[in-house]
Amino acid sequence: MFAICGYCQAMVLRKGADLENLGKISEIMEDGSPIRLGMGGKFKGRDFQVAGRIQLRWSDGIWNEWYLLYADGTPGWLGEGSGMFFATFQRDVPAGIVPAFDSLVAGQEVTVSGKPFSVSWKETSRCVSGEGELPFAVAEGWESPSIDLIGPDGAFVTFDYSDDPPSLYVGEEVKIESLALDASTAVPEKVRKVAAESLSCLSCGAPYNPHGKDAASWGCPTCGAVHEVLAGKLQKIYENLKPPGILPGLELGMVGRFEEIDWTVVGIQRRNSTWQDSNAQGGWATGSDWDEYLLWNEQNGYRWLVESDGHWSWIRTVPANLAKGQTAVLPGAPKRSEFKHFSSYHAVTTWVAGEFYWRVKAGDRNAIVDHVSPPWVLTRETDDRESVWSAGLYMDRAQILSAFERGSNLVGKGKIKLPPPPNTIGANQPNPYAAQSKAMRGLLWKFLVAAIFLHILLTAILPSGVVATGDFLVGTDTSAATSRFAVGPFKFESGRGNVEVILEANGLDNDWVAVDAVLTDRATGRTWSGGKEISRYSGYDSDGSWTEGSREATLRFDGLEKGEYLLELETGRDPSKTALQPLSVKVRRNASSMSWLLLALLVVCVVPVLAIWRSMGFETRRWAESDSASGDDE
């Protein structure tokens, strides 16, 4: 067992009662970690104690590997970085199982034990310090090349290439609250040599007030000098950025209340979208700018607030590569499968102010893929070293104003000057018409079925059938025998209703018959009258045979009541014709009419159709901004 002396920082090898001094190591850098040496805790019901820590530096900051000793003697590790925690255990694997370090890149899909994982981080870190007991010796500058992979449902794997052959660590992301850390057994802290003092910009002297203790860089909001931050102190300027003409709406130090927690704006990053275009200068076309605000809370770490064209999203990193996950991305958020690819592009940092937990630089370029399931957006950002997923929830301007007006009053900031409301549709902006459209679609089908069912039911149960018939021969003269006919009388037994008079001129060809009909209620004298022409023509022309008209016509009389009726017909014919034309007449009671059904269906449909059309129009405008509109969809 190796141990680092808490007083002199000497690393010793303990063999029974003997101690071998292996040299000194630097003191732990203050990093704001909630974990302390000696703390007790539980992971999945198993008690552990924090036995030691290795503190490592990677290109963008500091992270910790806490060495845990479980009650049953099993060793484990708790990785801590960027406010996230991963509990892992070493697994014995045969040599050659772990892929070579150079064979994997950030974002690459890898199958581990039959499960899909993707490379979330690839980096060679260097040890800067350590404390407590460790299972192996470390020294300042000791290199630890490693690759992290994230799998479904928070599964986590690390390939550690500091061992030969490489080691495999398997575990999962954990919430710090779930570890039930007990500070009563923690080793008392030494007074840190690095005080949380106010510092000044190395260029213009503007004050630097550290917030997050794991800050790795700070951009001076006054002069644009970007500093490296180490152990809470400004070290050196590594970049000078010209402040933008239009400043972001929110200022550093403002406090906003989200999720019932006060968050402080500690960093602002302006980015610009860019994509490869052979016609553009340098092969890259540039799009619009947007601002990303890094917010910090001492207990809860970091969140992002992103403003683009007046659209706001509240964003946090998500612990797992959810590309193949089956569970909700975040509590209250949809499953991964419900997100649709929206756009792929690159983001380039153009200006920064405030502090960041990585070494931020102008020109930092990340490949970004946005998936949306409004009001959520799921984003993957990938660069050479890491692949990070984040999930964002759309917020409207009023929510942002409300959140910051209260918080900013607390810190004496001026009036909030947010960008104007958007005049575009955001990728994850909720469709204000969607709920109404969905509700109306649900009602539409019910009403359609109800209307058709009721119509069919009434048609079926109402008394109907032929109540009178007549067959006549129609002549061309005006004599009563060949031009005036009567059908009936017939009785209408009960209730209200209608009759349909079906006129059929069998054998009619290239001829016509005109019919005037008068229906009379013999008791009241009320009459219904109407006329129809029955005509049918046929022949041949250059296009072939043709026919026009019909040998049948129908008259309909509505509003009949109980009584006895007589139908009288007067006919007319082409005087040039000589042959008598047969005319068959049928009187049918309660013929069904589709007219009221069609009117009802029109009324039932028109409002939902308008609602659906309005909702679809919103979605069309949304997706017009996506890759699918430009044909670049995945």
Q: Which residues contribute to the site for another protein (CB under 8 A)?
A: 436, 439-440, 443, 447, 450-451, 454-455, 458-459, 462, 478, 495-498, 510, 512, 514-516, 521, 526-533, 535, 537, 539, 541, 546, 548-549, 555-560, 570-572, 575, 590, 592-593, 595-597, 599-600, 603-604, 607-608, 611
Q: Which residues contact 91 (CB under 8 A, 6 or more apart)?
A: 168, 169, 170
- Minimum Å distance from CB 502 to another protein? 14
- Minimum Å distance from CB 583 to another protein? 13
Minimum CB distance to another protein smaller for 464 or for 584: 464
Minimum CB distance to another protein smaller for 341 or for 441: 441
Minimum CB distance to another protein smaller for 266 or for 499: 499
- Minimum Å distance from CB 510 to another protein? 7
3-class DSSP assignment, residue 74: coil
The 3-state secondary structure of 239-268 reads EECCCCCCCCCCCCCCEEEECCEEEEEEEE
Name the residue among 21, 15, 225 with its Cα closest to residue 139: 21
3-class DSSP assignment, residue 332: coil
3-class DSSP assignment, residue 22: strand
For tokens 């008079």, name the residue: 501
Q: Which two tokens stand for residue 411?
A: 């810190």
Minimum CB distance to another protein smaller for 416 or for 440: 440
Burial-class residue 389 by CB neighbours within 10 Å (0-12, 13-18, 19+): buried
- Minimum Å distance from CB 468 to another protein? 17
Minimum CB distance to another protein smaller for 207 or for 463: 463
Side-chain half-sphere CA neighbours of 272 within 13 A: 14
Cβ atoms of residues 101 and 143 within 8 Å: no
- Minimum Å distance from CB 258 to another protein? 31
Round to whole Å and give the CA distance between 220 and 437: 49
What is the end-to-end Cα distance of the chain in Å, rounded?
Answer: 52
- Minimum Å distance from CB 425 to another protein? 21
3-class DSSP assignment, residue 602: helix
Neighbours of 538 (CB within 10 A): 11
Minimum CB distance to another protein smaller for 228 or for 504: 504
Minimum CB distance to another protein smaller for 423 or for 545: 545
- Minimum Å distance from CB 593 to another protein? 3
Q: Which residues contact 148 (CB under 8 A, 6 or more apart)?
A: 86, 119, 120, 121, 122, 156, 157, 158
DSSP line for 177-188: GGG--BGGGSPP
Minimum CB distance to another protein smaller for 371 or for 455: 455
- Minimum Å distance from CB 112 to another protein? 50
- Minimum Å distance from CB 622 to another protein? 22
Minimum CB distance to another protein smaller for 5 or for 605: 605
DSSP state, residue 161: T
